[in-house]
Structure 1
Amino acid sequence: PALLLCLIGLAAAGMPYQGLFHGRPRHGFVDGGARRAHQHAGKSLAVAEEYPSVVTDTFTQNVSHFDDTNTDTYQQRYRYNSAYTQSKNIVFLLIEGESEASERWAGYPGYQWLQLAQKHGADAFQLEHRCFGQSRPYNNLSNTTLEYCTMEEALEDIATFIQGMNDKFKFKDPKWVTFGGSYPGLLSATFRSIHPELTVGAVASSALLTFTFDMWEYAWSMEETFKTVPGCAEAIESSFNHAQQMTLDTEGRKKLNTKLHLNPIFTDDTPYIEIDNFFENLFAVFQDVVQYSGDGRNNATMKGKGYKELCQVMTTDADDIEKLWNVIVWSNSKDEITITEFPNSYDNFIRDLRNETFDDEAEGLPNASNRGWLWLQCSQLGVQQTTDQGKNIFGQIIPINYFIRLCKDGFGDDLMSAQNQYDRTSAYRKKYGTGNYKATNVVLPNGSIDPWHKLGFNTPDEAAGVVPIAIDGTAHCADMYEQYDGEPADLAKARGIIADNVAKWLA
């Protein structure tokens, strides 16, 4: 899935620091860990590291590639890294996604796409996704503007950008390779399918290529992972079941207030949407740990922030609710954060999601990107992570109706009625997400622990050069990060397969 948590603003968003925002870190699937490491060391991401070979520029794009009556244009931000070029007309493009594009991903030489750029003497570009960061079709995120924030438009942005760079840099018979992870992995794979004339291949890490409105498979995958640790799944089931029962009466709610340090507290008048929101926030803490277990994305995941360590916390002698609080504290502590309360206001959450202004310039204010990601989910991708799969260790705590309500509250009843959400996401599923993927020269790595792998593509086609890779013991976008000591053994093998295929495309 590309790029979007920082401490400032999270309580206002109704979320604890640690949790994900609908399966996505608040600064993107790929970049969130790197960004957190800088911010919580008291550094600004913009000046934390300097890459002299990286130049930031903009490219003029049409606001609409499909509506001839709209002649407006906007400036799409990109970065160009010339550190490795050997003027061989080999060009790599890192496609960004649901967050502001960070300079680190354009310049840090340890990341795998830049390792390959160095090996092949490639010119390296990074392209920011429309409606995120500084790439703004219009200078707001109103519903009217968001109608231009679609996969179709983003894919045509990529095509126009490649053609524009060919002209600007006078590449002759260039061999372009695209890279992307998570949602940008989807873009990388889909771009190769619809515009094979513009590239020679694509690496699409953790790419969701089967869309489903209700993604109950996510929680199912988490349960499978926790069941590999003796006693862990049972402990989680007991704790979540106990918490669910305690929301049903006054005394139980008072105990949850005390033991989980809820803010705001539950009362007898607390509406059920706040209860659903509480469980979504709690579930997100567990999501965050599983989704990045075994990844080299930051010091936390490389040094003990993983599902096995979470299971150690859950299988102590503490009572069921204390275990949940201990997981919250432990998970935050791995990112050097001290947490003293569990923010949980649905109203504050919606207030921030309704903010139609861009705030990405200010560190710690990811609300604009959160709104953009929710828009992509509600109107196109679906992939809402529920616990609707029947009997499971988390219980029926997060129904699809929670997300339907959230989309309505975020964008309005008229635009996001339940029927409109279903119709919109069904149309995108038929166009891009049936799971019947056809292309040539594509590598599709997925981590075995990553819950998103349930929506990946796993059918190899040797003749077409479609190469799925199942990476044992890793999770989301693990193949994209730098190598680290003690990483899962299968990761090096997967990187080798990726490198071999890229070399084949460029031969």
Structure 2
Amino acid sequence: MASRRAGGLLRGVTSLLLFSVCVGVEFKGFRRFHEVERRSVLEEQWFIQRLDHFNGADTRVWKQRYFINEAFYKPGGPVFLMIGGEGPANPAWMKAGAWLTYAQKLGALCLMLEHRFYGESHPTADLSTDNLRYLSSRQALADLAHFRSVMAERRGLADRKWVAFGGSYPGSLAAWFRLKYPHLVHASVATSAPVHAAVNFPEYLEVVWRSLASENSNCPVLVKKASVTLAERLKDPETYDNITKDFNLCSKLQIQTEMDAAYFLETLAGNFMDVVQYNEDNRGFEGATGTNITIKVLCGVMADTSLGDPYARYAAVARLMMDTFSIKCLNASYEGYRRDMTDASWSGPAAGGGRQWVYQTCTEFGFYQSTDSPNQPFTGFPLVYHVKQCADLYNVSAEQLAEAVAQTNEFYGGYDIRSTRIVLPNGSIDPWHALGVTWDISPDLPAVFIQGTAHCANMYPARSEDLPQLALARDHIFLLLQRWLKQ
């Protein structure tokens, strides 16, 4: 997952969206299943992990955080492993969620492992670019493999069948864990998993257009008019005082480079991108705020002629989002973003996941949600804007980025997965489904494409207002697990 905000993670250290187990600072890319960290009655535990699994001469170790729920375990039952992602592991997932419903029915032991470099799992003294070379999906998978092997031996679970769960980026990890370590994991539920890496990902915003249009066909048209109007006004310094007031900026708008304009335009587009990605989901159970803001609400504001022209309605959406998330003013400075993102301390403003996740996009995945397609509702943040950030923040060139993304697809197979016992659920509203698998690859690699649902919807606890097709998808996944555990 993510745009440039906080997974999937609002868009201020700008945005980011993914889920891992699906993920507060604002980073770029996926979005948040671990977004709200809340202390739990569940005791956090620690596992000794190697820093570099691929260098036998490097004996350095660190402590990785994990959680365990034994409430449903029956002797001889399976082991469920929830994979952490680009944010803190939220213990709320050890108390609720579809996977726990499955665990209760199947007598499973449940574990959740936090991803290296996120949350409290700090492998290195800081987040310097030199240290971040130990942050990768391959190292994370090796963490999972070692954790699984040691825990199985420690707790007498070597002959138990292990099932991996994850959503968004961790959904990809769940699929790849089964792909790369088939002797260790028996099956995987890889929800909203972008398994294909791509430097340029304009399809994300194309899905945003279609998702907005599903509520009101004129909604994305109005959004595009507003975005284009704002982009034109950014070319005239005489408009900056009014724009500063209209969008309640923390300081007077200064557009000195194309990066400044692109950053501001992407920040405002993020209001719509985030809402679409998480539309009408059940994040409230984990302490998330803003779940009342839906596509219907935003399109209602954009259709309200009493607010003025589309530009004025666009500003009203921005103020609504700021009020909802108790943001006093909007930071619109690319230089401020760059400064925050290059702070390598664990106490830095982007250490909650932003600096780490954007590094992963620059060195493995891309996933840049650009405005390069004409069939999307925004303007002004093309691919070159995203790619330049890799150079500004980590000294990664465009050529290095392209090569890294190609290597990722070569290593994992992209869409062309060849494995067994992996189910790949996706929602039609979720823009990330464009990089996922939405068709059955084989009987043992089934897709579950859920019409009308957003990012990781099938992972959340069930509720009465769930769409019938969402309830059926959860049931279908359970039946698959039940069958696979007998194999």
TM-score under structure 2 length normalisation: 0.90
Q: CA deviation at 1:197?
A: 1.3
Letter of the 1:326 partner, please give it: A
Tell me by how many angstroms 1:338 deviates: 4.0
Aligned length: 470
* Matching of residue 22 in structure 1 with residue 28 in structure 2: yes
Secondary structure of residue in 2 paired with 1:117? helix
| Amino acid across the alignment from 1:115 | T
CA contact (8 A) 1:388 1:400 kept: yes
Gaps of 5+ in 1: 36-44
Which residue does 1:373 correspond to in 2? Answer: 357
Tell me which residue corresponds to 1:40. none
Report 1:307-318 matches (<5 A): 307-317=295-305, 318=308
Mapped to 2, the partners of 1:407 and 1:24 lie a distance apart of: 17
Deviates more, 1:289-298 or 1:257-266: 257-266
CA shift digits 1:290-316 (9 cap, x unpaired): 000121112788964211221111011
d(CA) in 1 for partners of 2:319, 2:469:
31
* TM superposition shift of 1:372: 0.7
> CA offset at residue 489 of structure 1?
2.2
**Letter of the structure 2 residue corresponding to residue 369 of structure 1:** G
2:388 match: 405
The residue number in structure 2 matching 1:217 is 203
The CA distance in 1 between the partners of 2:5 and 2:103, in whole Å, is 29
* SS of alignment partner, residue 452 of structure 1: helix
Aligned pair partner of 2:121 in 135, 138, 153: 135
- Shift in CA distance, 265/11, structure 1 to aligned 2, threshold 3 Å: farther
Q: Paired residue for 2:257?
A: 271
Aligned to 2:435: 455
> C-alpha displacement at 1:102, in angstroms?
1.9
Shift of 1:342: 2.2
C-alpha deviations, 1:28-66, integer Å up to 9, x for none? x2122xx2xxxxxxxxx443x42xxx3422222221111
Q: Which residue of 2 aligns with 1:330?
A: 320
How do 1:191-340 residues align onto structure 2 when only pairs under 5 Å count? 191-228=177-214, 229-267=216-254, 270-298=256-284, 304-317=292-305, 318-333=308-323, 335=324, 337-340=325-328
The aligned counterpart of 1:477 is: 456
Q: In 2 relative to 1, CA 480–332 (structure 1 residues): closer, same or farther, beyond 3 Å? A: farther
The Cα of 1:501 is off from its aligned counterpart by 0.8
Q: Does residue 449 of structure 2 align to residue 431 of structure 1?
A: no
Give 1:435 shift: 1.2
Q: In the TM superposition, what whole-angstrom CA distance separates every residue of 1:166-210 from its partner, at most 9, and x where no partner exists? A: 111012511100000000000000111111111221000000011
Contact 2:439 2:448 in 1 (8 A): no
Distance 1:311 1:434 in 2: 35
Does the CA contact (< 8 Å) of 2:12 and 2:267 recur in 1? Answer: no
Letter in 2 for 1:69: A
Question: Is 1:444 matched up with 2:418?
Answer: no
Structure 2 CA distance for aligned equivalents of residues 436 and 253 of structure 1: 49
**Contact 2:427–2:451 (CA under 8 A) maintained in structure 1:** yes
- Any conservation in 1 of the 2:174–2:190 contact (CA below 8 Å)? yes
Offset at residue 320 of structure 1 (A): 2.2
State the secondary structure of the residue aligned to 1:383. strand
Q: Secondary structure at the match of 1:94?
A: strand
Distance 1:75 1:468, change over 3 A: same
Higher relative contact order (CA 8 A, sep 6+): 1
- Cα distance in 1 for partners of 2:145, 2:356 equals 22
Unaligned stretches of 5+ residues in structure 2: 17-23
Q: Is the 8 A contact 2:64 2:122 kept in 1?
A: yes
Paired residues of 1:256 and 1:321 also in contact (CA < 8 A) = no
Partner of 1:75: 63
For residue 327 of structure 1, what is the amino acid of its counterpart?
V
CA gap 1:81/1:374 in 2 versus in 1, 3 angstroms: same
SS in 2 for 1:367: coil
What's the offset of the Cα at 1:462? 4.2
Structure 1 partner of 2:20: none
Q: For residues 347-386 of structure 1, what are the structure 2 equivalents within 5 Å?
A: 347-359=335-347, 367-386=351-370
Aligned with residue 394 of structure 1, among 378, 396, 406:
378
Q: Which moved more, 1:55-64 or 1:346-355?
A: 55-64
Deviation per CA, 1:420-474: give whole Å up to 9, x if none.
22222221122225211111011111010000000001231444x1110111111
Measure, in 1, the Cα distance between the counterparts of 2:89 and 2:251: 34
**Farther off after superposition, 338-347 or 305-314:** 338-347
**CA–CA separation in structure 1 for the residues paired with 2:237 and 2:371:** 25
Task: Report the alpha carbon displacement of residue 340 of structure 1 after superposing the two structures with TM.
Answer: 4.6
Choose which of 91, 94, 104 in structure 1 pairs with 2:92: 104
Aligned partners of 2:375 and 2:66: how far apart in 1?
47
Which residue of the partner structure matches residue 21 of structure 2? none
8 Å Cα contact 1:78-1:125 kept in structure 2: yes
Tell me which moved more, 160-169 or 256-265.
Answer: 256-265
SS in 2 for 1:124: strand
Q: Deviations over 1:268-304 (max 9, x none)?
A: x632211111011011111111000121112788964
CA RMSD, 1 decimal: 2.5
Name the CA shift for 1:274/1:454 in 2 (closer, same or farther; >3 Å).
same
Q: Give SS of 2:446's match.
A: strand
Equivalent position amino acid for 1:56 in 2: E
Measure the CA separation in 2 of the matches of 1:98 and 1:303.
20
- Structure 2 CA distance for partners of 1:11 and 1:483, relative to 1, 3 Å: closer
Deviation at 1:495, TM superposition (A): 0.3
Render the CA deviation track for 1:139-171: whole Å, top value 9, x for unaligned. Answer: 211112111111111111111111101111012
1:499/1:332 CA distance change after superposition, 3 Å: farther
**Cα separation, 2, equivalents of 1:66 and 1:131:** 17
Aligned residues: percent identity? 31
Distance 1:393 1:55, change over 3 A: closer
Residue 375 (structure 1) shift: 0.8
1:31 aligns with 2:34: yes
The DSSP-based 3-state class of the residue aligned with 1:223 is helix
| Cα distance in structure 2, aligned partners of 1:126 and 1:325 | 40
The question of whether the paired residues in 2 share the 8 Å contact of 1:140 and 1:357 is answered with: yes
Q: 1:14 to 1:225 in 2, by over 3 A?
A: closer
Q: String of CA shifts for 1:309-339, please: whole Å, max 9, x gaps.
A: 2111101112222211211233344x4x344
> Contact 2:12 / 2:25 at 8 angstroms: preserved in 1?
no
Give the equivalent residue in structure 1 for 2:76. Answer: 88
* 8 Å contact kept, 1:15–1:342: no
What is the one-letter code of the residue matched to 1:475?
Answer: A
